[in-house]
Structures are given as C-alpha cells and as structure tokens.
Chain A
C-alpha cells in the first residue's frame, strides 16, 4: 500500500505502567499521515501531544545518532526517528518495547543489564606505553579497520533481537562485543590480551551462533556478527 498525505494509519502500541498496576496490553491510536518522510517518532509525538499525554517513550536527537529510541516496530527492532511510516507498507503498525528487557513504562525498558555488559568488555583505549608529545600516528588503513564498528550508538536493537541473548542471561551480546572489537581492532590499543581473555568465554564470543538477527536490526547498518567473527579469529590465532 502507498500512503498519501491526509491518510490515517493505526498505531497499535503496547502499553504498561507499574503505577496503574495493569498488565501489558495494546491500545490503538489513529495517526494522520501529515507529510511525506514522516517518521514513526513523528507519529508517536502526534499521539502524545494531541491524543494521549500518558504515552511514554525515549527520544532525543531525532536523527539516529543518540540511540535512545530503539523499539520493536512490526516485529523488527529499529530506531523510531529514522523509520519512515511509508516504508512499513501497512495500515496497522504494531509497536512494542525492545524484546528481552524489563519494561519500565510503555516503550521504555530498563537498560541496566545491557549497559553492565558493555562495561564488562573494558570499552576504552588501554595504553601501556606513554604517548608521544603529539598525536600517536595511525595509518589510514589501520584507522579504516574501525569503520563499520565505531559508529555504534548503543541503541540495543541488535542485542535485543538476538535469541542467544534472550536465552542466556549472561551472554554479553552483539552490542557489547562490537564495542569490544572497536578497541581490539584499534592499532593504538595495548590491552588486547586482557580484553580477549574476557571475551574468550562461553558467555562471550562463543555464545554467538550466527543467527544474524543483529545485522538487519542495526539502524546504522553495522555488522555485529562479522565483528564477533573477527574477535573469534583473533582469539584462535592468538593461541596457535
């Protein structure tokens, strides 16, 4: 179906509030398609500002770099601010919070466990030799190894789409692992061994079963599966 300005679409939104002591349930809202290029976030704002002020979700930059607004839209994880309503090609759009996380309210999840796993991989440059008085040198080729990895916005769309992440509460998950790769693959980093020791674990890189849900889920079109594979290779080649 194609949408014309003025058309009405239904947003079917999963609601939950601990205040109201209600079970999770869906509520339908009619959203007017007001301009071409309208995003899911524009629709959510329209509902909140004009129909129902009690609807809650996270959002900030509205341009796909802050990573606040990961949610499950018609069954696929994406950030609401970069998802065109018209691309979904459906008259009813079902919106749920990211799967696998405890719900705080409506589309807002508790991300504590997600960030704790990110902290575990030591997501910072580890230096052991003193830096020079100016910048460290890095070749264009070495710097380019970070492309497709350093752009991660920590939106959790990947981890929350991963069946292994749902099944194993201790699995670090694709997001933490691509952030580990960000430093393992950085020619300036001197902490590879200690980081790889953390990742070389049944709840680390070896829990990835290449289901590859994380790839279509990433709003930045990064490839966490590939990054995990590179970490696995680095760990194996380190030993032999």
Chain B
C-alpha cells in the first residue's frame, strides 16, 4: 500500500452533507458571498432527502382554515411534550414563508383547481387544537422529497450563488477538527474517487449529515444513512441528544422496508389486520389511521402480538387503497404504485400492500438551539454554544420533534434549520470578522488529524480477522429484535451485551480492498463503526429512561412519567463507555402560551 495522499483546502464555511439541510445552508452562505464548500458522500441529488414522498407541512390554509398555532400545537403534542416550544414556534411560524420561497425557486407543487399549492391530510395534523383533520402537507404528487432536493440544488446553480459554492461530491467525512479553545475549524475527509485524505479548514462548520437507521433489519433508509455525523461529533466530545427515540414508520413494505407514504392514509387509505378489521379504531378512535406514527406503529405491533398479523408468519398488516380508484392513485400516488409493484409484484389499484413498522427516523441528534448553533452543557449552563459549529436537519436535535416526529415535519425541518444554520454561520463570521485561528499547517501535525490518518493507514496495513458484513448482519437483526417498537429492561440489556461483543469484534475488522480508487469496502467498514456507536448510545439511553414516551415504549414502564422524565437525554461516548446527562426541555415559546403536557389521545 502506497502512502496516503494528503490535500488541504480552505473556505469560509464547510458544510458536511448535501441533502435538503446542507443545500438550504449553502444557499444562505452563498447569498452572503462566503466561500462555501459542500462535502458529501454522494452527488447532491443522490442524498436521501430525494426519497421523501408525502409533502412538507405549512399552515397555508389552501384547503381549509389553518393557522401556524394549530400546527405548533400538533407538533408539541406529537413530540409527547419533549419538543422545545421556542424552536417549535419559530419553525411552524416560518413554515408558510418557507413554502412560498420554495415555490418561487421553482418547486413543482401539485395544484388545486384555483391554481394554489395542493395540500393533503397527514397523521397527527389537526385544526383547532385537535378538533378535526387538517390538510397541511404541501405535496408534489408523492415525490415531494425528490422535487425539494432538486429545487434546492438548482437554486445553488443560479449565477447569484454558483460562484460561492463548490461541491466536493464523493468526499466521505472522517473527523472534525477543534482548536485548543474548542472552536470547530475544519473537517477531515476521504476523497472516495481518487483516494486520499482531504482536510477542509473553515471559519465555521455546518453538519447536515442526515439520518441513520441502517442499523435496523427493516428500514426505509438509504445505504449512506449510517450515522457518521453523530459518530464524528461524539469523537470530538459533543454529546448526542435523545438517541433513544427511533421512529418506526407504520408502512414500510414488508421485509424490504421501502417507504409507502403516510399520504396514502391521508388520501383515504387504511390498515387492515388478518381478520379484515380496521384495527386502528381501537387505538385512535377519533382519527384512526391518521394518528401519529408512534401510535399507529404500536397498534400494528400489538395486533401482530395478538396473532392478528397477516401471512404465513402472521407478522405484517395490509394497507388498502384500491378504493381510491385507479386514476386518483396514478395522479396523486404514482411513485408508491411503482414501488409496491416493483418490490411486491402487487398492483395497489387492485390489491392491498403488505406493510410492517419500519425503522425510519431519529428524533434525536446533535444538540442545537433554535439558531442551529450546536450547544453543550457547561457548568450551570445546559446549552453553551460551541463556537463555529452548526447542525441542521435529521442529524440535529433542536428539538422540534421531541420523542415522536409528525409526518411532513422533517422536510420543513431541513429547510428551516438548514436556512438558519447558513444564516447564523454567515452572521457569526461577518459580524465578528472571524479568521482561521492559526495557520492550518500547525494542525496537520496535531493529533486530531494525525489520529484519523493513522486509523485509515491501519485499515490498509492490517489483515483483520473479521469481515464487516458479519458484524453488520448481527447488528441489524439484534437491534430489530431488542430495540424495536416494544422494549423491556431485559431486551435492552441483551442488546447492550450484543453490542459489547460486536464492538469487540469490530476492533479486529479488516478490509479486502487495499486500493485508493473508489474503495467501497473501506467506506462501508468505517460506516459500520458509526452504526455501532449510534446503536450503543441509543440503547444505553433507552435503558435509563424508565417510562414510555413517544417512540420509546417500555413494556415494563407503560406510562409517561412527566414528574421524573420531562427532560432531554444527553449521551457522551468515551471509547466504549456511555455517560448520560439530562437537560431541561425549553417549555417557554417565543410569544405563544406554553402548551402544558396532557394525556395524548388521537
């Protein structure tokens, strides 16, 4: 193995990730005329935002009366009251202008008869504080994520921004660099195409590294969604907030996990058990299949427990939509028709789609405030900003979603928090005349980048007695079994044992590909390390939280316990040890009255 090449770049802002959040940030730093580099494991339009289907929430009131305060209430309630209400107010209030901005940039929304943006019903979205269903999700058929991602990328190609934003696609982030005072000043990455370490120094770093549920057997995520951003942050001493909350989307395609949008139920589809019963009436008597996702997934899992699952293994449910009619399905839901047909052979204009609760989204993430600044505890201050470090989108935790995210709130999250990160990073650099603190050369020899280079060199040099796939398969099966929709102290402890064993094995992992050029073996092996990290902190946090809240359901503690647990988890990872702290929920909105916790009924 030849020496690993090394290259150094400098910019004003380094953005890691080119999905909806990263691109929204790049638009802002570009408009501020700051030299911006976007590094990403894939070309921007390959990012996983592209797979989102249903839409993006905003109280536009195009279909019926609607106000952002109703959207705010639904989001707080959906979060099971651990969403931070200042951030949720900012976010729901800014939703309508965000949608208009996207429309002005060319997003090809579906339209109403009046020519306005079409909005559909989605789970947990109501009018007048829970009274009736709202139509709040602004949709582009069932290809909303594809259209959003392409529109944002297109925006950065316009001549007012293009000169300021450079894309480094197929650069895989390895580590972040902090100087002695804790400022984040850069990112170490691997150039996937040619091979080699590339260090990007910047005055500010924005993480927009997306989601991470590839650690579950059945999941809706792309191959790239492996939690690298979380893992990198933790190696730099940053905690991860609320990792125990994993959203299981009710309708992933049985066994393969590809997403079937909640929009199917929003448009009138519904779930059936093996007896042909609309079982959701038992779990959510008012809104049935349009309850929030944690409630629906739990209902499905409960039916399966009671032996009412479908198929020879009685392990899934049916999603019926043929009654919507062939023409309607082909107009409003063409993408899921294609997915269902390709992955199950079923024509959903005639027959129901087999579905199961499927790992989909992490509500938690790198802790930020509503300005997208990354915040960590410092003495009495639970939220001290880390200079130069911002995070947005799924990898961040503001927390907009608390313990359970509502459908179509994530695309809004991407744009609002991504835009904030870009604006706030620009403001910080421009107002404070930030300079790179010391000549970058000094940091080359520094142990931060040095340690990263050594780790890569070791993978190339050593033989390794274990292959990554062996560990990955066990990880995915065990997480699905022990850390699924239902959890108990026993299952969580079993998972901690499994993870200890897998992490020991991982230390002996080896790569077969010793070449520099497009070495997928190296990347997947590094990604597995991230998956093991995020699995460990999520499992450890789940053991501590002896209550049931949102997506975290403990059979042994089935009730929510606001007296003891109305707080955010902060997990720190030191080698193989997890330290857990807690911080208060920000209950006070900016101008709205606080929504006090009450029993969550749909």
Contacts and interface: CB of A to CB of B under 8 A. Distances in A.
Interface string A1-42: 000000000000000011110000000000000001100000
Nearest to B42: A60
Interface in B373-400: none
Interface stretch (A45-53, A209-217, A227-235): A45-53
Contacts of B416: none
Interface string B325-350: 00000000001001100111100000
Nearest to A154: B45
B515 A17 contact: yes
Q: Which of A17, A66, A140, A186 has the most CB of B within 10 A?
A: A66
B500 interface: no
Interface string B235-263: 00000000000000000000010110000
Interface string A95-125: 0000000001110101100010001001111
A56 B522 CA distance: 11
Contacts of B16: none
B321 to A, nearest CB: 19
Contacts of B146: 65, 151, 153
B145 to A, nearest CB: 8
B50 A61 contact: yes
A183 B106 contact: yes
A89 to B, nearest CB: 16
A104 B521 contact: no
Contacts of A20: 515
A188 interface: yes
A64 interface: yes
Interface stretch (A131-139, A157-165, A166-174, A195-203): A131-139
Contacts of A64: 338-339, 342
B599 interface: no
Nearest to B512: A53
Contacts of A183: 106
B154 interface: yes
Interface in A49-82: 49-50, 52-68, 82
B513 interface: yes
Nearest to B523: A56
Contacts of B335: 65
B224 interface: yes
Contact of B512 (A36, A54, A122): A54
A61 B103 contact: no
A140 B110 CA distance: 7
Nearest to B102: A135
B43 A62 contact: no
Contacts of B342: 64, 82, 84
B108 A143 contact: yes
A53 B46 contact: no
A104 B117 contact: no
B147 A150 contact: yes
A37 B344 contact: yes
B426 to A, nearest CB: 22
Contact of B222 (A48, A60, A84): A60
B117 A62 contact: no
A214 B420 CA distance: 41
Contact of B105 (A60, A82, A123, A125): A125
A interface SS class: loop
A17 B157 contact: no
Contacts of A55: 520
B48 A61 contact: yes
Interface residues of A, number: 60
Among A57, A111, A134, the most chain B Cβ lie within 10 Å of the Cβ of: A134
A220 B105 CA distance: 24
Given A63-B258, A124-B154, A139 B104 contact: no
Interface string B95-116: 0000110011110111111111
A96 to B, nearest CB: 16
A57 B48 contact: no
Contacts of A92: none
B308 interface: no
Contacts of A105: 515, 517-518
B104 A53 contact: no
A137 B113 contact: no
A109 to B, nearest CB: 10
Contacts of A84: 342
Contact of A131 (B104, B256, B343): B104
B108 A67 contact: no
Contacts of B520: 48, 55-57
B111 A66 contact: no
Interface string B141-156: 0010111001000110
Given A52-B512, A61-B51, A135-B100, A66 B143 contact: no
B476 interface: no
A18 B518 CA distance: 10
B517 A53 contact: no
B157 A56 contact: no
B335 to A, nearest CB: 8
A234 B503 CA distance: 61
B469 interface: yes
Contacts of B195: 19
Given A19-B516, A137-B114, A154-B45, A62 B223 contact: yes
Interface in B161-178: none
A66 B153 CA distance: 13
A58 B193 CA distance: 11
Contacts of B345: 36-37
B158 interface: yes
B291 interface: no
Contact of B111 (A19, A48, A110, A140): A140
A62 B222 contact: yes
B111 A65 contact: no
A41 B243 CA distance: 31
Nearest to A122: B157
Contacts of A50: 469
A123 B46 contact: no
A125 B154 CA distance: 8
B100 A134 contact: yes
Contacts of A58: 42, 46
B519 A56 contact: yes
13 contacts: A20-B515, A37-B343, A48-B520, A56-B513, A60-B46, A64-B338, A68-B46, A124-B105, A135-B99, A137-B116, A150-B147, A150-B150, A151-B143
Interface of A: 17-20, 36-37, 48-50, 52-68, 82, 84, 104-106, 108, 110-111, 115, 119, 122-125, 127, 131, 133-140, 143, 146, 150-151, 153-154, 183, 186, 188-189
